[in-house]
Amino acid sequence: MLIGFVLLVSACGHDACDALPVSERIYPTKMACEQMADRIHKVRPNVVLLCGEVHR
């Protein structure tokens, strides 16, 4: 069961490595997660952020 989305940061850019959570917050929709990623990109434009699904 999908419960939301979490914002992840990739330590090695777009290469194949594990992404780490930015915080413990779970966003109810992918759009809400992507909006937060956009806000962070304004301050840190070089960081690679992803929205990942959270399942129960």
Which of 16, 38, 17, 1 shows the shortest CA–CA distance to 51?
38
- Number of domains forming the structure of the chain: 1
What's the one-letter identity of residue 33? Answer: C
Domain encompassing residue 18: 2-55
Percentage of residues in the chain with pLDDT exceeding 90? 71
The reported pTM is: 0.84
Query: How many residues make up the chain in this entry?
Result: 56
Q: What is the pLDDT of residues 8-17, one digit of tens each?
A: 998 776 666 7
Residue range 27-33: average pLDDT? 97
Q: Where are the alpha helices (DSSP H) in 3-45?
A: 30-43
Interval 2-9 mean pLDDT = 95
